[in-house]
A and B are shown apart, each in its own frame.
Chain A
């Protein structure tokens, strides 16, 4: 199985800060990497698919990059409504795997 790691596990930043989360796969997954946002008590929401494509309706302050084994998710200017846990997900091979998540809150 492909193992997914994320760092950091949590972070605290100020409104307007640039926030970066990294995700690493245990083997090459090409660009089959997605990012989801999950707010407490809610279902996950797709933000970025295929490493760098912004899902329709998602604000442009969210972006993703990377390929192979190393990926990056960025919030260019953190907003109060971005408080959530963010998960990366690979779908190159079954079983699909999610990263352990990064909890983002406001400093």
Chain B
């Protein structure tokens, strides 16, 4: 059974940093691109970032480029999102999602599995 379990969310002040993790199990982690998708309170879904199966290719939404860094440790079956210079508009539930492709050039394709999400609140 595929499982994705996010952690690391919480309350952080504007300008602060946070690192999210997503522990994966139930599939060959290194064979699939992974993405982060976020959802601000009461709002729709926004794709944030994607990484290829090897970790060699990464892509970002313009809204987070230069502030967020996606990475993965295939030996630990874990996906990460390092978030720096956080802003109030980054407040959201962050989901990790498994793509159906190895490549991240299209964000990994569609997402057949999602984690339960972790809430990030940026506020003073």
Chain A contacts to B: CB under 8 angstroms: 32, 34, 36, 38, 42-46, 49-50, 55, 87, 89, 91-101
Q: Are B115 and A94 in contact (CB under 8 A)?
A: no
Contact between A94 and B112 (Cβ–Cβ < 8 Å)?
no
How distant is B99 from chain A, measured CB to nearest CB, in Å?
Answer: 9
B114 A91 Cβ-Cβ under 8 A: no
Q: Write out the residue numbers on chain A whose beta carbons fall within 8 Å of the beta carbon of B62.
A: 95
- The answer to whether A94 and B45 touch across the interface, beta carbons within 8 angstroms, is no
At the interface, yes or no: B110 with Cβ under 8 Å from chain A? yes
Known contacts A34-B110, A46-B111, A49-B110; is A95 also within 8 Å of B117 by CB?
no
Chain B interface residue count, Cβ-Cβ cutoff 8 angstroms: 23
> Residue on B with the closest CB to A53?
B110
A42 to B48, CA, bound (A): 19
**Quick one: which of B95, B105, B112 has the most chain A CB within 10 A?**
B112
Considering the chains assembled together, what is the distance between the CA atoms of A46 and B2 in angstroms? 14
The docked-state distance in angstroms from the alpha carbon of A44 to that of B97 is 10
Q: Are A43 and B95 in contact (CB under 8 A)?
A: yes
Interchain residue pairs with CB less than 8 A apart (8): A36-B45, A43-B117, A44-B45, A92-B106, A95-B107, A98-B47, A99-B44, A101-B44
